Amino acid sequence: MSNPLERYHCQIALPGFGVSSQELLNNAKVLIIGMGGLGCPSAQYLASSGIGTIGLADNDIISESNLHRQILYAPEDIGKSKVDVAAKKLQQQNPAVKIIPFNFRVTSDNVMDLISEFDLIIEGTDNFETKCLLNDACVLTGKPLVYGAIYQYEGQVSIWNVIQKDGTSSPNYRDVFPNAEESQVPNCREGGVLPTLAGIVGCMQANEAIKYFTNPENSLAGRLWMMNVLDGKTQIIKLRKTSVQITGLPQTVETITFEQLMQEKDLFEIIDVRTSKEHEEFNIGGINIAVDELQNHSDYISDCSKSIVMYCLSGKRSAEAVRKIKSIFPEKNVYSLKGGIQRTEL
């Protein structure tokens, strides 16, 4: 009969690690939210290291443009659920690990229940709305959150909300990025990214999770690790707490798919929140009101008797537009087109 610890011999042999640290990993429960460029390598290395329970949360399906950096997926997986494919491959990689797929979108309505059974959360998301939601949920429940972000040639990693020896918590996402929801940084499809950067940052996130359970005094709590893969430079910035108070969860922007919109197009008022130039080049109908001009058209919004669908290229500007409209007209049914119109242009 084989030794169940033989798989982990090389990490058990590390100075200061040993069987006791391996047992800590075996008893750990980690939830990864976002099974894209960061979630894939993070999940693979957590499974290989022997994390006992790994949850995977994502409602996206695999597309061809994912394959260059989301390394759990192959061409034959296109069109399939990310978490279902990932769960199957991770289970094959390490049958001793418990893999739990959650094939739904994480929202303000379900996030608290979702994270409640896990010891640590890893976020591999590509939008600021979900980053803020996860941060706030973890602060309210006292759970650590491993942060990762990539853009073109640069990546960042930290671990938020870790309880310190004096009982206080380390800085969280809003301490460092207080106005994150208003940011307009493009996602990977718009801004581009090297696949190797996604792998490096995802591995660093897995590394932070392993350290949290086995060697927490050396974690990135209170520090932000940054790397530029173009010139190879890395730096670590010390972070500090601010007076930002989190008392509740931000409301999740409601979305609608392109297919749903096309099937029931007559039921919606459609607004393109891109620039007039973008609208002229390509659009899927509706009127054009740039997101920065919405406040000047409140009368038009007020008079709309139908539900409203906002769209842009990727869904970022339309999500911002929905938040703006809901802040003025909270009773309005307003949706953001999921993923934007970039997929309709393929």
DSSP secondary structure code for residue 197 in this structure: H
What are the residue ranges in the chain where pLDDT is below 70?
A: 1-2, 181-191, 343-346
**132 counts as catalytic:** no
Q: Is 337 left (phi over 0), alpha (psi -120 to 50) or beta?
A: beta
Instruction: Tell me, yes or no, if the two domains 6-238 and 255-345 fold the same way.
Output: no
Rounded to whole angstroms, the Cα distance separating 261 from 311 reads 11
Neighbours of 36 (CB within 10 A): 23
Residue 92's φ and ψ, nearest 5 degrees, are -65, -35
Quick one: which of 39, 251, 206 has its CA closest to 126? 39
pLDDT at 189: 64
Please state the pTM of the whole predicted model. 0.84
Average pLDDT, the chain: 91
pLDDT at 346: 34
DSSP secondary structure code for residue 169 in this structure: B
Q: Which of 40, 132, 138, 312 is catalytic?
A: 312
Taking CA atoms, 341 is separated from 194, 284, 310, in Å, by: 23, 8, 11
pLDDT at 154: 95
Q: Where are the domains of the chain?
A: 6-238, 255-345
- Tell me the torsion sign for CA atoms 139, 145, 151, 154: positive
Q: Which of 10, 188, 203, 304 is catalytic?
A: 188
Amino acid at 51: I
**304 counts as catalytic:** no
pLDDT at 188: 62
What topology does CATH give the domain 6-238?
A: Rossmann fold (3.40.50)
Which tokens in the block code for residue 237? 């910035």
Rounded to whole angstroms, the Cα distance separating 97 from 46 reads 9
What is the CATH code of the structural domain delimited by 255-345?
3.40.250.10
Rounded to whole angstroms, the Cα distance separating 82 from 62 reads 6
Quick one: which of 178, 112, 118 has its CA closest to 146? 118
pLDDT at 243: 81
pLDDT at 323: 87
pLDDT at 162: 96
pLDDT at 345: 42
